[in-house]
Every structure is written in structure tokens, then in C-alpha cells.
């Protein structure tokens, strides 16, 4: 899938902006990792308890030490090939600064988040790529896909399971809902119960059959055919324990929920790979294990996506933080402002201008920085006339400028340069109505991000690029008036009403001047 960034970013004759998403071939990535020594095979399940570390489990020590380990920094210093590890050997000037085995330098190494463990099943078996599973479900229907890959249970003449194993399978089906709780009306049972290996053997036939029934879903069909070689996999990546937290704290053991899913997948893979007993070579038994693995893998994928998504997602919690000299405020309309002007609340300005205010207070009153900080701190809690006077003086001398922004920042006008022209004693930010469209904001409680500009060169660059008066009035697409900063329809209606109301109170002299103006400038306003 490709996204043309030229629709959202400034056009360029030299560059095209594209973001391309590619489906990963798990088997190929596994082969590369094992060949390059950048991964390992998970051979055995690991009981989830306090004694987690095992070289061949999902909690392998090969991932590296975490802060929850007894000696978390033992492998934070290492030579290139891991022959010599430990901070003891990484002392500059020491003879052991260079590894005596491989001759490479012993130095500090960071956590490698690209090092993966791999759960593998034999080539005779298969699973469906978890992301392509969702695409195939969209084409043929979730219930239909489950009906196909979940193996059918053979019954005798009396409708009873033919073996004790089948009876156990039927019992498991009833616990998770089985066939009885599916929406039978939507099922197409032509390929029902053939299992994952049967689905692999008849894949093209099945996809063509359902595509002919649902030609409107061509988009899903094309994506599946494009990634045909990646549909069936034999390798499942298990990412580092650094992102799967497990710890003992105050005699309480806690772990990240995906650990249980990965461990169960490892257990099922170890079982399906066995061939020492006849039951392990039973195709129906193998298909049942593969179905259980596929169900768990699909649920795990959904869980990981949920972890990464949303405002409390894992990635957001790792990389998020507050930018210096920034704050957020609720916006309110101020019709007196020009398109490059803004008013900010007193308490917000106290935070944005903390260092500047402390320096001015210190120099103005000839006091220490500690005393100046104390004045600023109490001024940030309750209005201080001295601090308010300083803020107003800075504003009046045109020395306060900001960038405002509202997420998501996907368009050129999502970031706007503004001059601060006033300080209010409430908690809201006053802005004009002309830049609302570019910010995708309105006055129903929206908040905007504010970044204070201190550096002179950066301020001048922002004014040239992000000032509405300098950069937004003319459209970058066609060179015409930018409609996104034009007057709102509501404003035009109100202005027209105001003009209409005023006509009835014009005297003859005023009406003559209006007509003279219209004839001179070709005005068309009636």
C-alpha cells in the first residue's frame, strides 16, 4: 500500500513524498536472523513463574538483561561478538580494554530491540500470516474462514465422537462456543472442516470461489494475490523481553499479558512438531493443533495492535514526553485579532516564559536566583502584579511569539505562527477565525498546543514559513486565494445583515458617497 504525501505536504519539483507499507515475510526474516546470528529458535515453553530465564524459551537470556534481573548491567558492556562481557573489562587504559579472544573493543552496548526469538513449525505444517488472515476474513467472511480451517469432528452412526480424543475436542468446542454459536445463515459450507493444511492445498480454488461470489471486494482479492507467497508461514516472531515486562516486586509476580500467549504458542508448536507417537502423526490431531495455534496467533495480533494503539499505547508511553517551553489552552474567538495575532492566559505565559521571567525578576530587583524563582513560583499560582507588568511589557515590545498546533499535524496549515498581543486573566487562548480551518479546530472546547519561540533566527524562519499573512493567503496548489483562510459563511451572513440594517439609517449625503465609491471602484455590493 502506498500513500502519496504530496497531497498533504508542500509540493516540490525535486521530490515526491511517499510512505510505503510492506508485508513482512516471516519465514524469510527468520532465515536472515538465524543466518546472521541475530535471532534464535524457541524450542521449549517456559513456565510463567519467578524463575523465568531459559536460553531456549520466550524469556531467553539471549534477549539481554533487563532492570528486573539480579545483575542488570552484566551484558551492557561487551565486545563485538559477545566473547567478553561486563563493565569490569571496559575501563579505558586497562589491558583488557580489547577482547583477548576476538580482538575487538569492549564497550557499552545498548539494548537491541531488533533481536528476535522465533517459534517454528515444520514445513509440512502451516499457519496463516496474522495480518493476511484479517484480509482473507474480509474477503470470504470471518465465519466462513473459521468454518474452513477448524477441522471437523467425525461422528459415528449414533452421532457420538469416534474416539476419546474426538470427545475431548468436542468438549473444547462447546466451551469456546463451537459451531453452535455461529451465525449459520451466513455460512458457506462448501469447504467446511478441511483444516489449515487442506486450506493451503486448495487456497487458490477457495479464494477464486469466494471472489466470484463477491466481486465488489476486489481490493481485498488484489492484496491477497499480491502477497500470495507470504500467506502461509512456519515462523512466528517473538520480540524482546525488554518490551514484555516481567518482574517480581514486593513478593508479587507480574508480567505483560502477551507473555502467556507467546508461551502457549511455543507449547503448541513443540507439540505439533512431535512425531514419536502415532497420535502426533494423525492429520486430524495436527489440524486441531494448528487451528488452536492460529486462533491464539490471531488473538495475539489483535492484542498487540490494541497495546500499540490509543492514547495509552506502549509506543506512545515510550517516546512521549513534554516539549520544553510548551503548554495547551482551550481556544475562544476574538474578533478583534488579525490572522497572525493571539492572546494567551496569564498562567500559561508564566509557564512558557519561566526562565525569561526569573532572569528579569532577578535583575530588576537585584536579588538571587533562588529568591527570583520563589517570586515566579507563587506568581504562577496567583496573579502577581509585578510579573503581570513584566509580561505586558514584553508583549507590548513585540518580543513574544509562538507556534500553535492541533494534532494530528497532517497539513501545511496545521502549524501556525502567531504574535502574542495580549495577556488575559482567564484560562483560555483567544484566536482569530481565519486560521481555524487549517487547524481543523472549532470553538466547542478544542485545545491547541503552544510552543514559545526564543531563538531569533528560528523565530524569523517560522514567521516567513508559518505566518498566515506571509504564507497562507495564496494557495500553494493553484496560486489563487486560499479558501481555507477566507471569511466564514456565518460571518458573511452577519456582515450582510449588519449592512442591511445600516442602510435604513444612512442620510442622503452618506448614500451619495456610497454610490460614488461603487462607481469609482466597480463595487458590486448592493
User: pLDDT tens digits for the chain (526 residues)?
Assistant: 443 444 444 455 666 656 667 888 999 999 999 998 889 999 877 665 555 556 778 888 777 766 555 555 556 677 776 777 765 555 554 444 678 788 787 776 667 788 899 999 999 999 999 999 999 999 999 889 998 998 875 544 554 444 444 445 555 555 554 444 444 445 777 888 888 999 999 999 999 999 999 999 999 999 999 999 999 999 999 998 878 766 655 566 566 778 888 988 999 998 888 877 777 778 878 888 899 999 999 999 988 888 777 655 555 555 556 677 888 899 998 888 998 999 999 999 999 999 999 999 999 999 999 899 999 999 999 999 999 999 999 999 888 999 999 888 888 888 999 999 999 998 899 998 888 888 888 888 889 999 999 888 999 999 999 998 888 888 877 888 888 877 767 777 877 777 776 666 777 888 888 788 888 776 554 4
**The CATH number of the domain where 357 resides is what?**
2.40.40.20
Do 310 and 427 contact (CB within 8 A), yes or no? Answer: no
Residues 467 and 515 in one domain: no
Q: Is residue 283 part of a domain?
A: yes
Q: Would you call 413 helix, strand, or coil by DSSP?
A: helix
Q: Would you call 2 helix, strand, or coil by DSSP?
A: strand
Residues 297 and 166 in one domain: yes
Residues 374 and 508 in one domain: no
Which one-letter DSSP state was computed for residue 309? S
Cα–Cα distances in angstroms (integers) from residue 130 to residues 3, 198, 232, 359, in the given order: 23, 18, 10, 58
Of 403, 410, 413, nearest in space to 476 by CA: 413
How far, in Å, CA of 345 to CA of 424, rounded? 5
Q: Is residue 12 part of a domain?
A: no
β-pairing, 77-78 vs 127-128, is: unpaired
Q: Is residue 120 part of a domain?
A: no
Q: Is residue 105 part of a domain?
A: yes
User: Chain-centre distance of CA 107, in angstroms?
Assistant: 33
What is the reported pLDDT for 117? Answer: 92
Cα–Cα distances in angstroms (integers) from residue 38 to residues 42, 117, 143, 239, 362, in the given order: 13, 9, 39, 12, 56
Q: Is residue 80 part of a domain?
A: yes
E strands, 77-147, where? 77-78, 107-108, 116-120, 127-128
Domain that holds residue 471: 326-485
How far, in Å, CA of 391 to CA of 397, rounded? 10
Residues 6 or more apart in contact with residue 511 via CB below 8 angstroms: none
Q: Is residue 15 part of a domain?
A: no
What is the reported pLDDT for 440? Answer: 85
Residues 495 and 358 in one domain: no
Cell digits for 11?
Answer: 509540493
Residues 192 and 101 in one domain: no
What is the reported pLDDT for 67? Answer: 54
Residues 335 and 382 in one domain: yes
Q: Is residue 175 part of a domain?
A: yes
Residues 500 and 440 in one domain: no
What is the reported pLDDT for 246? Answer: 66
Residues 430 and 517 in one domain: no
What is the reported pLDDT for 76? Answer: 64
Residues 308 and 171 in one domain: yes
Do 463 and 417 contact (CB within 8 A), yes or no? Answer: yes
Residues 141 and 210 in one domain: yes
Residues 90 and 172 in one domain: no
Residues 131 and 183 in one domain: yes
What is the reported pLDDT for 2? Answer: 42
Domains: count for the chain = 4
Of 352, 340, 342, 341, nearest in space to 464 by CA: 340
Q: Is residue 53 part of a domain?
A: no
Cα–Cα distances in angstroms (integers) from residue 120 to residues 257, 267, 271, 294, in the given order: 21, 11, 11, 13
What is the reported pLDDT for 375? Answer: 93
What is the reported pLDDT for 3? Answer: 39
Burial classification of residue 192, based on how many CB atoms lie within 10 Å of its CB (0-12 exposed, 13-18 middle, 19 or more buried): middle
What is the reported pLDDT for 65? Answer: 65
Amino acid at each position: 500500500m502506498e500513500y502519496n504525501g504530496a497531497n498533504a505536504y508542500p509540493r516540490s519539483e525535486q521530490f515526491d513524498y511517499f510512505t510505503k507499507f510492506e508485508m513482512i515475510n516471516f519465514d524469510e526474516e527468520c532465515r536472515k536472523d538465524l543466518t546472521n546470528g541475530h535471532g534464535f529458535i524457541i524450542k521449549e515453553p517456559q513456565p510463567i513463574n519467578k524463575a523465568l530465564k531459559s536460553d531456549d524459551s520466550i524469556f531467553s537470556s539471549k534477549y539481554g538483561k533487563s532492570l528486573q534481573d539480579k545483575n542488570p548491567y552484566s551484558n551492557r558492556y561487551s565486545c563485538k561478538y559477545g566473547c567478553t562481557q561486563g563493565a569490569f573489562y571496559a575501563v579505558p587504559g586497562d589491558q583488557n580494554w580489547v577482547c583477548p579472544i576476538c580482538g575487538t573493543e569492549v564497550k557499552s552496548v545498548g539494548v537491541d530491540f531488533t533481536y528476535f526469538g522465533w517459534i517454528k513449525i515444520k514445513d509440512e505444517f502451516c499457519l496463516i500470516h496474522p495480518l493476511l488472515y484479517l484480509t482473507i476474513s474480509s474477503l470470504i467472511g470471518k465465519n466462513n474462514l473459521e468454518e474452513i480451517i477448524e477441522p471437523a469432528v467425525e461422528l459415528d452412526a449414533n452421532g457420538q465422537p469416534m474416539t476419546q480424543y474426538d470427545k475431548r475436542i468436542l468438549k473444547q468446542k462447546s466451551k469456546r462456543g463451537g459451531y453452535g454459536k455461529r451465525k449459520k445463515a451466513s455460512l458457506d459450507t462448501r469447504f467446511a472442516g478441511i483444516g489449515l493444511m487442506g486450506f493451503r492445498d486448495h487456497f487458490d480454488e477457495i479464494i477464486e470461489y469466494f471472489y466470484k461470489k463477491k466481486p465488489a471486494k476486489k481490493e481485498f482479492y488484489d492484496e491477497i494475490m499480491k502477497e500470495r507467497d507470504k500467506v502461509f508461514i512456519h515462523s512466528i516472531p517473538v520480540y524482546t523481553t525488554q518490551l514484555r515486562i516481567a518482574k517480581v516486586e514486593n513478593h508479587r509476580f507480574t508480567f505483560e499479558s502477551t507473555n502467556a500467549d507467546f508461551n502457549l504458542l511455543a507449547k503448541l508448536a513443540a507439540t505439533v512438531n512431535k512425531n514419536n507417537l502415532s497420535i502426533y502423526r494423525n492429520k486430524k490431531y495436527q489440524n486441531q493443533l494448528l487451528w488452536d495455534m492460529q486462533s491464539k496467533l490471531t488473538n495475539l495480533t489483535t492484542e498487540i495492535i490494541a497495546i500499540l494503539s490509543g492514547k495509552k499505547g506502549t509506543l506512545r508511553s515510550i517516546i512521549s514526553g513534554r516539549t520544553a517551553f510548551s503548554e495547551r489552552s482551550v481556544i475562544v474567538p476574538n474578533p478583534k485579532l488579525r490572522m497572525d495575532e493571539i492572546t494567551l492566559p496569564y498562567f500559561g505565559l508564566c509557564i512558557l516564559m519561566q526562565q525569561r521571567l526569573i532572569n528579569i525578576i532577578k535583575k530588576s530587583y537585584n536579588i538571587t536566583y533562588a529568591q527570583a524563582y520563589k517570586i515566579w513560583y507563587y506568581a504562577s499560582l496567583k496573579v502577581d502584579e509585578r510579573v503581570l507588568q513584566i509580561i505586558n511589557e514584553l508583549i507590548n515590545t513585540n518580543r513574544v511569539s509562538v507556534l500553535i498546533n492541533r494534532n494530528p499535524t497532517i497539513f501545511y496549515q496545521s502549524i501556525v505562527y502567531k504574535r502574542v498581543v495580549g495577556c488575559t486573566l482567564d484560562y483560555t487562548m483567544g484566536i482569530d477565525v481565519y486560521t481555524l480551518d487549517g487547524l481543523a479546530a472549532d470553538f466547542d472546547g478544542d485545545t491547541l498546543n503552544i510552543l514559545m519561540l526564543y531563538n531569533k533566527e528560528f523565530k524569523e524562519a517560522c514567521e516567513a514559513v508559518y505566518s498566515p499573512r506571509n504564507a497562507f493567503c495564496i494557495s500553494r496548489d493553484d496560486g489563487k486565494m486560499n479558501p481555507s483562510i477566507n471569511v466564514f459563511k456565518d460571518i458573511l451572513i452577519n456582515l450582510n445583515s449588519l449592512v442591511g440594517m445600516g442602510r435604513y439609517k444612512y442620510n442622503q449625503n452618506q448614500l451619495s458617497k456610497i454610490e460614488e465609491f461603487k462607481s469609482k471602484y466597480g463595487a458590486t455590493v448592493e
